[in-house]
């Protein structure tokens, strides 16, 4: 059983195939953390209890007779504010008396098979109840009447445990949540390196590593989205870890709005990590009987380094987070017209691209920004989701019919959360955007943000989108989000609830996404936010693929896709071949390399196909054929990062490499890219994840043992040019 409770010792134990998570109920009702790490048997768990000789200056509320036992020095399962634990807290409840001192104690628990849904929020799920077991622990604060339910789910076949928190007001008086994290883990020791994904627009999710120091450290976003700048993921890797060895703890938040991951190393060199909603400018009032549900944190433990952690996240998110028909259905190879035409297109131009796409084997045409209102630049018409028939003569239905007649599917771009000041919608409803009365409304990209916390706003946008999607055979939507939130206020909320706006906004977005997918269940939804500004587990619940970055340069994508793979599977990374010189960097990279890099994801094209040379057209046909051939291996195989392109830039090899291995280890696809070449460089690439006793045959007929490929490596020494790539496919005899 994944979850057990020792009623005599008052110890809870959650097991996954290779990990154990253990905590206890103290005699006075406090939950104290005991252990998280590699699997341990159900014996001698008392040994894990830690006691100090003396906890000077610390309140002894856990056991007044034990001066060495204090919330300030103990490993606390879910720490609260103001009653003895002086480290950063997970929960703070402010009562009507104005004080935020909080004290929660164990009341009861229940254990059951399966996993519950979270009201209004994305979360992992079970396809069958037997896949997981759930523990719910109810703790109460006797003064405020706060009932705090800690929800844990342990997956039976993956080393993943999910955490979330639900708070209910059981009193007849209101109180306010000042902060609520979804998960906390206290570790003994500080011998960790913190891994996180940092970036900016067009340079998202660069892997950053730094050793923990005494005091507070961490990452956050208060931009109204998970952001280009910091992804809602952190890992703690014990000293001595590598890509494929050592202990690594991964934490991923299933949420797309303001978040924080806070890490504190205290005076005893113990480490606390918390993850959840960003407490800055957050508050939530609960009236009598009301509940608040926090987002979910996914915790993954790996004894096989960072790579082992990543492969667990990949499997979990492919099978237990992505939903709907497109979770397993083969995704179409598409061409998006954005970098090919920008706003300068009409129906005939799109059909011309579609004709070439059909000839080349591409399966879908996506019409990007510029088809609606009077939009010929980015300064107007967001919110006016009706067809510009000056561009699309004959209307949208006529265009879609012409594209479908060529054998192609059709997709379309929306930016549902935004509104242009120069739009019919804004002129009719200027109060519908986020704003603070008396303050100037800051524009970003010449647009404002709709108040998605309002049902009337969501109803209007849904009705407009539904009318468009019902008017023609549209099978794909690219959902964009092109600015951060400022003046985060809502016309409908009273002053004391304005700090709820950002979270209510995100709940509104999720509600609209859910409504849209319920109305159009066969729709393939691709997330986007100026590229990868909202690439997170929350969005994957609705969109199984996300535009990875607005930077389509293949050399830049090496690092972006490398970092993204820390948490997110290749099937989620939308990656396209674009024109050269690249529109973001000006770099010229070979067509073959652009295809090889883009193939490590949800594959497509982002250029004007009518301008390709005959040689490039043949390469497109070959790339399309290869992607179909290797589709299942790329999308569902075990992924191994072989060379870190960021770190290897400083080495003589200066390369990037990765590998996909089928679950049965019978098929392997290796990609090797030389970023910058030098003369007389020996290049041996050691593969991973193979069966050492099998013989693997490459497509050119050469035979290698798995042991040889993993230990001696694949010999790639030879003449290489800057930006040159090679893809090698092996099958086992």
Q: Which fold has domain 3-320?
A: Beta-galactosidase; Chain A, domain 5 (2.70.98)
Is 550 labeled as catalytic in the residue annotation?
A: yes
Residue among 550, 553, 638, 648 flagged as catalytic:
550
CA distance 174 to 145: 9
Q: Which of 339, 413, 368, 352 is nearest to 607 (CA)?
A: 339
Is 691 labeled as catalytic in the residue annotation?
A: no
The domain locations on the chain are: 3-320, 329-416+455-481+525-636, 640-732
CA distance 208 to 222: 20
CA distance 540 to 631: 20
CA distances from 341 to 487, 609, 700 (A): 34, 11, 40
Residue among 15, 141, 384, 480 flagged as catalytic:
480
Q: Does the pLDDT of residue 57 top 80, yes or no?
A: no
Architecture of domain 640-732: Sandwich (2.60)
Instruction: Tally DSSP H helices, then E strands, for the chain.
Output: 13, 38
Q: Which two tokens stand for residue 617?
A: 């057209």
Helices 554-564 & 591-598 angle (0-180, nearest 10): 10
CA distance 233 to 561: 15
How far is the first Cα of the chain from the last one, in angstroms, to the nearest whole number? 39
Q: Does the pLDDT of residue 54 top 60, yes or no?
A: no
Give the residue-averaged pLDDT of 43-71: 68
Q: Contact, 467 vs 450, CB < 8 A?
A: no
| pLDDT (tens digit per residue) in 400-447 | 999 999 999 999 999 999 999 999 999 999 999 999 999 999 999 999
Q: Does the pLDDT of residue 61 top 90, yes or no?
A: no
| pLDDT (tens digit per residue) in 290-321 | 999 999 999 999 999 999 999 999 999 999 99
Q: What DSSP state is assigned to residue 341?
A: H
CA angle (482, 488, 494) in 5-degree steps: 145
Q: Which fold has domain 329-416+455-481+525-636?
A: TIM Barrel (3.20.20)
| pLDDT (tens digit per residue) in 703-715 | 999 999 999 999 9
| Confidence band for 62, pLDDT divided at 50, 70 and 90 | low
| pLDDT (tens digit per residue) in 660-682 | 999 999 999 999 999 999 888 99
| Confidence band for 346, pLDDT divided at 50, 70 and 90 | very high
Q: Does the pLDDT of residue 8 top 60, yes or no?
A: yes
């Amino acid at each position: 059983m994944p979850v057990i409770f020792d009623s005599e010792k008052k110890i809870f134990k959650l097991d996954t195939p290779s990990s154990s998570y253990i905590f206890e109920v103290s005699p006075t009702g406090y939950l104290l953390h005991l252990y998280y790490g590699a699997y341990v048997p159900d014996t001698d768990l008392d040994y894990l209890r830690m006691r100090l000789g003396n906890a000077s200056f610390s309140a002894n509320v856990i056991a007044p007779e034990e001066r060495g036992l204090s919330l300030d020095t103990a490993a606390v399962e879910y720490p609260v504010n103001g009653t003895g634990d002086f480290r950063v807290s997970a929960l703070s409840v402010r009562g009507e008396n104005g004080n935020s001192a909080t004290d929660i104690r164990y009341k009861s628990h229940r254990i059951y098979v399966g996993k519950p849904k979270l009201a209004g929020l994305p979360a992992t799920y079970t396809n069958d109840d037997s896949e997981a077991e759930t523990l719910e622990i109810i703790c109460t604060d006797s003064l405020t009447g706060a009932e705090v339910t800690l929800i844990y789910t342990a997956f039976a076949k993956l080393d993943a445990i999910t955490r979330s928190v639900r708070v209910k007001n059981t009193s007849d008086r209101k109180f306010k949540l000042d902060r609520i994290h979804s998960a906390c883990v206290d570790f003994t020791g500080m011998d960790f390196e913190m891994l996180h994904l940092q970036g900016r627009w067009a340079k998202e999710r660069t892997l950053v590593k730094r050793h923990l120091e005494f005091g507070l450290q961490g990452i956050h976003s208060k931009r109204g989205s998970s952001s280009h700048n910091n992804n809602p993921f952190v890992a703690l890797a014990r000293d001595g870890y590598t890509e494929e060895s050592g202990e690594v703890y991964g934490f991923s938040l299933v949420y797309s709005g303001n978040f924080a991951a806070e890490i504190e190393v205290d005076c005893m060199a113990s480490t606390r990590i918390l993850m959840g909603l960003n407490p800055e400018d957050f508050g939530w009032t609960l009236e009598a009987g009301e509940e608040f549900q926090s987002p979910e944190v996914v915790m993954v433990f790996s004894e096989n380094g960072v790579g082992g952690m990543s492969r667990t996240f990949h499997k979990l998110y492919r099978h237990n987070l992505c939903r709907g028909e497109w979770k397993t259905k083969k995704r179409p190879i598409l061409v998006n017209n954005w970098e090919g035409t920008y706003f300068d297109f009409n129906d005939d131009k799109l059909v011309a691209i579609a004709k070439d796409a059909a000839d080349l084997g591409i399966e879908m045409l996506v019409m990007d920004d510029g088809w609606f209102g009077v939009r010929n630049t980015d300064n107007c018409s967001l919110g006016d989701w009706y067809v510009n028939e000056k561009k699309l003569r004959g209307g949208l239905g006529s265009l879609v019919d012409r594209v479908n007649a060529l054998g192609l599917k059709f997709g379309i771009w929306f930016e549902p959360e935004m509104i242009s000041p120069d739009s019919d919608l804004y002129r009719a409803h200027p109060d519908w955007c986020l704003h603070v009365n008396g303050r100037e409304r800051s524009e970003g990209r010449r647009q404002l943000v709709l108040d998605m916390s309002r049902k009337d706003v969501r109803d209007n946008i849904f009705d407009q989108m539904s009318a468009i999607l019902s008017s023609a055979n549209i099978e794909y939507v690219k959902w964009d989000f092109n600015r951060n939130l400022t003046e985060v206020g809502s016309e409908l909320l009273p002053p004391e609830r304005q700090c709820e706006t950002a979270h209510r906004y995100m709940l509104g977005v999720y509600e609209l996404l859910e409504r849209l997918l319920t109305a159009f269940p066969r729709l393939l939804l691709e997330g986007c936010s100026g590229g990868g500004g909202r690439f997170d587990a929350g969005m994957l619940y609705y969109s199984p693929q996300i535009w990875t970055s607005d930077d389509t340069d293949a050399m830049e994508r090496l690092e972006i896709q490398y970092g993204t793979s820390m948490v997110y599977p290749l099937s989620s990374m939308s990656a396209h071949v674009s024109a050269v010189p690249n529109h973001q960097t000006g770099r010229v990279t070979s067509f073959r390399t652009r295809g090889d890099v883009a193939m490590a994801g949800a594959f497509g094209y982002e250029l004007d196909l009518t301008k390709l040379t005959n040689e490039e057209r043949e390469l497109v046909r070959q790339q399309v054929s290869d992607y179909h051939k290797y589709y299942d291996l790329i999308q569902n195989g075990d992924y191994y990062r072989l060379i870190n392109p960021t770190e290897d830039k400083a080495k003589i090899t200066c390369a990037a490499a990765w590998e996909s291995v089928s679950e049965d280890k019978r098929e392997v696809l290796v990609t090797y890219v030389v970023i910058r070449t030098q003369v007389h460089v020996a290049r041996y690439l050691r593969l991973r994840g193979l069966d050492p006793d099998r013989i693997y045959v490459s497509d050119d007929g050469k035979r290698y043992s798995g042991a040889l490929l993993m230990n001696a490596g694949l010999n790639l020494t030879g003449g290489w040019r800057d930006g040159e790539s090679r893809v090698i496919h092996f099958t086992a005899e």
